[in-house]
């Protein structure tokens, strides 16, 4: 069978295999070449391909495990969000429908979800190593504060307590009750943060690095985001080194946390977020 | 957001979801994924078997759906079928990238098929998909075993006719004939699905 000169009859006999994509390479090219110039074969091929497509239904649907399902969903939405924000309305086949005004008018809620999704790729399970590093960071801050006569007793206590938290986390991290949220920033700088949620005692510990100082009259506010509400976990300001540790106690059903976020708010804090979060993270699947 | 589209007639919804996906709405992708991941995962799992990159392939299939959502044409079959075709292609890419001729048999010693030909309803399928499934399974069950084998080695195994001939120890011409006959019978049996789609 030669590449050129395949007759209609020869091609016709191979259409079924072509539809199944089961032809050997050379034959595949020859049949395809004929089909391109033959309306009858094209039509027949389209029908056969539609039938082949139906064969997928013979397979029993089977959901992925919860961990896989959530993981893939998170990655997909993160990619999609990144894809959307990176693709300017230049693509010829989409620019007509890509109406900027609509994006602008989309509700704050959807913006939140989009932002939450956009950092999922950065989420990973906590490693002992990471927690250890955080403890070292806090320990260093404590050592330097302890040597500083102007450091208040309260700030020393707070750091010591944060260290104790870390110690406890190190001890408990492999336990079943600790969920970890790794957070990433949407801003140009690269603040990073992690939220530790000890579900057995409803304790939340938030550790952030590289935070810029809030503007005058402003503060940062930490939020626990569920499907239906955003719960304030308190306001905070980072220290001179850009580090912050926030602890909160709040009982939340194990599966209800959708994301954790930090917004820039007026100094007194807000009942509900008034700005788009600049740090946000979603719960790791585990 | 229905978790997995229980008994939902998803036809028009899916088209709308694709439209929103084409417009860059990633929440639509989330809904679309929630609805169809069991079906996509089933197909990918069937083709890749117990391989550890099943998850990646499922992701790639939905990613392609996201990227190509604007190119889906209503007249050319249901959204689900379109999605499953993508899923199969991505899974076969993966299989073929690793090895043209896989070692693990798709058809067992006695020629029994690994696809379970039982139209057991699955709660994660909508009625339309479940209906489709029973029609396809009935059509496959009606094929003579050797024709079904040729078809499945091609469809799920991603094998070429020559490879199927090698695998089964049959002459290439025999495989070609079996595959043709199988497809012709399917064409008759599945006509009802084509009519529904258009
Ligand atoms: Zn022709």
Q: Is the pLDDT of residue B107 over 70?
A: no
Q: Does A47 touch chain B (CB under 8 A)?
A: yes
Residue with the two structure tokens 């004939």: B177
For B140-175, the pLDDT digits (tens) are: 888 999 999 999 999 988 899 999 999 999 999 999
Spell out which residues of chain A touch residue B162, defining contact as CB-CB under 8 Å.
Answer: 24
Q: Where are the domains of chain A?
A: 2-88+96-145, 178-282
- Percentage of chain B lying above the pLDDT 70 cut: 74
Ligand 1 centre from B183 Cα, in Å?
Answer: 18
- Percentage of chain A lying above the pLDDT 70 cut: 60
Question: From the CA of B52, how many Å to the nearest CA of chain A?
Answer: 11
For A251-272, the pLDDT digits (tens) are: 888 777 777 788 889 988 888 8
Q: Is the pLDDT of residue B124 over 80?
A: no
pLDDT of residue B87: 95
Q: Give B175's strand partners.
A: none
- Exposed, middle or buried by CB within 10 Å (0-12, 13-18, 19+), for A23? buried
Mean pLDDT computed over every residue of chain A: 69
Q: Is the pLDDT of residue B80 over 80?
A: yes
Query: What are phi and psi for residue B135, nearest 5 degrees?
Result: -65, -45
Q: Is the pLDDT of residue B106 over 50?
A: no
Question: From the CA of A83, how many Å to the nearest CA of chain B?
Answer: 8
**Pairs of CB atoms within 8 A across A/B:** 183
> Which residue of A20, A97, A110 is the best one to mutate when testing the B interface, meaning the one whose CB has the most B CBs within 10 A?
A20
More confident residue, A114 or A236: A236
Closest Cα in chain B to A100 = B23
Range of A107-111, A148-152, B189-193 with top mean pLDDT: B189-193
> Which residue of A56, A84, A99, A104 is the best one to mutate when testing the B interface, meaning the one whose CB has the most B CBs within 10 A?
A56
Contact between A93 and B71 using a beta-carbon 8 Å cutoff: yes
SS (H, E, C) B68-94: HHHHCCHHHCCHHHHHHHHHHHHHHHH
Cα separations (Å) of B125 from A11, A28, A63, B121? 38, 35, 11, 8
Mean pLDDT of A104-120: 37
What does the alpha-carbon distance between residue B27 and residue A114 come to, in Å, rounded to a whole number?
Answer: 8
Long-range contacts of B30-33 (CB under 8 A, 24+ apart): B30/A73, B30/A76, B30/A77, B30/B1, B31/B1, B32/B62, B32/B65, B33/A72, B33/A73, B33/A76, B33/B62
Ligand 1 centre from A32 Cα, in Å?
Answer: 10
pLDDT of residue A115: 37
Which among A54, A63, A80 has CB closest to B26? A80
**Residue A283 DSSP label:** B
DSSP one-letter string for B95-137: HHHH-SS-SS-SB-TTS-BSS-------TTS-HHHHHHHHHHH
CATH number of A178-282: 2.60.40
What does the alpha-carbon distance between residue A211 and residue B112 come to, in Å, rounded to a whole number?
Answer: 63
ipTM of the complex: 0.79
> What is the pTM assigned to this prediction?
0.53
pLDDT of residue B154: 92
The domains located in chain B, with CATH, are: 14-103 (1.10.1740.10), 123-197 (1.10.10.10)
Q: Is the pLDDT of residue A188 over 80?
A: no
């Amino acid at each position: 069978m030669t590449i050129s000169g395949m007759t209609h009859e020869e091609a016709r006999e191979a259409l079924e295999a072509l539809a199944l994509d089961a032809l050997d390479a050379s034959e595949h090219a020859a049949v395809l070449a004929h089909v391109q110039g033959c309306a009858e074969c094209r039509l027949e091929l389209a029908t056969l391909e539609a039938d082949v497509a139906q064969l997928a239904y013979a397979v029993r649907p089977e959901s992925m495990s919860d961990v896989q399902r959530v993981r893939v969903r998170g990655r997909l939405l993160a990619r999609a969000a990144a894809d959307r924000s990176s693709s300017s309305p230049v693509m010829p086949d989409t620019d007509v429908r890509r109406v900027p005004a609509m994006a602008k008018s989309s509700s704050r809620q959807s913006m939140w979800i989009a932002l939450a999704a956009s950092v999922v790729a950065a989420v990973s399970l906590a490693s002992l190593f990471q927690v250890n590093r955080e403890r070292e960071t806090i320990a260093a801050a404590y050592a330097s504060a302890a040597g500083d006569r102007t450091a208040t007793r309260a700030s020393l206590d707070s750091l010591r307590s944060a260290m104790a938290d870390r110690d406890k986390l190190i001890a408990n991290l492999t336990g079943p009750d600790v969920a970890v949220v790794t957070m990433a920033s949407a801003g140009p700088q690269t603040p990073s943060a992690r939220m530790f949620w000890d579900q057995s005692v409803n304790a939340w510990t938030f550790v952030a690095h590289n935070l810029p100082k809030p503007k005058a009259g402003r503060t940062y506010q930490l939020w626990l985001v569920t499907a239906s509400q955003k719960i304030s976990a308190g306001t905070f300001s980072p220290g001179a080194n850009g580090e912050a540790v926030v602890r909160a106690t709040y009982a939340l059903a194990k599966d209800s946390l959708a994301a954790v976020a930090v917004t820039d708010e007026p100094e007194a804090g807000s009942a509900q977020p008034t700005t788009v979060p600049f740090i946000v993270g979603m719960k790791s699947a585990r | 957001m229905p978790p997995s589209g229980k008994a939902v007639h998803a036809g028009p919804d899916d088209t709308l979801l694709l439209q929103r996906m084409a417009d860059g709405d990633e929440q639509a992708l989330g809904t679309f994924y929630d609805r169809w991941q069991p079906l996509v995962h089933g197909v990918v799992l069937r083709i890749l078997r117990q391989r550890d990159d099943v998850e990646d392939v499922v992701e790639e299939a939905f990613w392609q759906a996201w990227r190509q959502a604007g190119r889906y044409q209503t007249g050319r079959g249901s959204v689900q079928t379109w999605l499953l075709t993508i899923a199969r292609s991505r899974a076969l890419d993966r299989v073929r990238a690793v090895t043209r001729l896989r070692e693990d048999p798709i058809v067992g010693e006695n020629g029994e098929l690994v696809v379970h030909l039982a139209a057991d309803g699955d709660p994660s399928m909508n009625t339309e998909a479940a209906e489709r499934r029973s029609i396809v399974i009935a059509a496959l069950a009606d094929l003579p075993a050797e024709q079904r084998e040729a078809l499945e080695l091609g469809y799920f195994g991603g094998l070429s006719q020559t490879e199927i001939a090698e695998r089964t120890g049959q002459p290439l011409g025999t495989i070609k004939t079996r595959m043709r006959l199988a497809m012709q019978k399917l064409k008759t049996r599945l006509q009802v699905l084509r009519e529904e789609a258009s």
